[in-house]
A and B are shown apart, each in its own frame.
Chain A
Amino acid sequence: MIEVKGVTKKFGRKQVLKGISFTAEKGEITCLIGINGVGKTTIMNAIMALTPINNGQILINGEEIHKGSYEKITFIPDAITMLPQMKISDAMQFMDDFYDCWNQKRADEMLGFFKLDKNERISSLSKGNTAKVNLLLGLAMDVDYVLMDEPFSGIDIFSREQIAEVFTSHLIEDRGVIITTHEINDIEHLIDKAILLNEGVVLKEFNTEEIRENEGKSVIDVMREVYQS
């Protein structure tokens, strides 16, 4: 389980996170929802300890993040971090050299799944294929938790469908996934839990099947209530 407890974060005078708390279970897909600028990416960076937090605590399987945690959790940012002149195969080799948990077999399988050519250079990839390579590099690691920042943002419908397919496949297995999005339509039926954020606070945290079962509401119904009241 990932536990985020009362996390606050200031950038200069701007309070970006104002006491965020939520949990994300292994074997579940947890979705952080909110319009741009509510602190979704900052939360991701905070979980990965890529940015120091001012207050609060973040635990992964009951422990604070340490060097060894990076073999248990990975972050897939919304833009590719590999050098543009690298081929896909170079990027894969880089990951293999850098991480013990790199799973070459799964990486090759994902190349096939996404129909990518490993000799293609990062610089010549379309937006959709860049997103797929990015996802491949993260998901080919044998980690317990995967954080994804806006994996569906700004790409074509067919790439979005293919990426959505990843969530229902064995590529996710029993891992815990945290995903951020500002568009819920594509993934409404794929997620277990939704966390609605606004201006650095959690407005509501709920299980999507439970809200449908107990209140007969769609995720969007709840978002309307929460954001427009």
Chain B
Amino acid sequence: MNVNFNNRDPVYIQVIRHFKEQIATGSLEPGEEISSRRELANKLKINPNTAQRAYKEMEEQRLIYTERNLPSRITKDEQVLKAVREELILQAVDSFITSVRSINVPLEEVLDLVKENYEKHCDE
């Protein structure tokens, strides 16, 4: 697993984002078992305390759950999964809008371009 962390955002938040992306894209499935905190730290080359913090936050946000001493798993809660997907889509749209706005493109033109190129991306 290779994740490029930036230096200015808290690492635990970047770890949570990474998990949300994997959930939204389906590379982590609902109910799937996830690595232990130590394994995650090792895989992502981050401080084990940070991995611990990320898991604690994800548990609080109900993204993952842990039953007794078993390994943690991705949530099966439809509401939570839906919210993750919506959050990521909105973030992507927001950053897209920020970039096109800075070049002063009219909305209609942008939408046409999006439609045209969206299909192209699907064909590739």
Which residues does A use to contact B, with CB under 8 Å? 27-29, 164-165, 167-170, 172, 188-192, 209, 212-213, 216-221
**Is the Cβ of B45 less than 8 Å from the Cβ of A212?**
no
Question: A217–B13 Cα gap in the complex (Å)?
Answer: 14
**What secondary structure prevails in chain B residues at the interface with A?**
helix
The interface stretch among B1-9, B89-97, B115-123 is B1-9
How many angstroms between the C-alpha atoms of A10 and B49 in the bound complex? 37
Sample of 14 further A-B pairs with CB below 8 A, known A172-B48, A209-B10: A164-B45, A167-B47, A168-B48, A170-B38, A189-B5, A189-B50, A191-B47, A209-B50, A212-B7, A212-B9, A212-B11, A216-B9, A219-B7, A220-B7
Task: Choose among B9, B12, B45 the residue that contacts A168 (Cβ–Cβ < 8 A).
Answer: B45
Contact across chains for B45 and A218 when beta carbons are under 8 A apart: no
> B42: CB under 8 A from chain A?
yes
Residues of B within 8 A of A191 (CB): 47
CB-nearest residue of chain B relative to A216?
B8
The main secondary structure of chain A at its interface with chain B is loop
What CA separation (Å) do A132 and B45 show in the bound complex? 18
B 8-62 contacts with A by CB, 8 A: 8-13, 38, 41-42, 45-50, 53
Residue of A nearest to B49 (CB): A192
- Taking a contact as CB atoms under 8 Å apart, the answer to whether A221 and B8 are in contact is yes
| Across-interface contacts of A167 in B (CB, < 8 A) | 47
- Compute how far the CA of A27 lies from the CA of B37 in the bound complex, rounded to whole angstroms: 14
B8:A217 contact, CB within 8 angstroms: yes
Contact of A192 among B8, B13, B45, B47 (CB under 8 A): B47
Q: Smallest CB-CB separation from A218: which chain B residue?
A: B7
How distant is B41 from chain A, measured CB to nearest CB, in Å?
Answer: 4
Are the CB atoms of B8 and A28 closer together than 8 Å? no
Residues of B within 8 A of A169 (CB): 38, 42
> Bound state CA distance, A209 and B51, in angstroms?
12
B124 shortest CB reach to chain A, Å:
34
Is B8 within 8 A of A189, CB to CB?
no
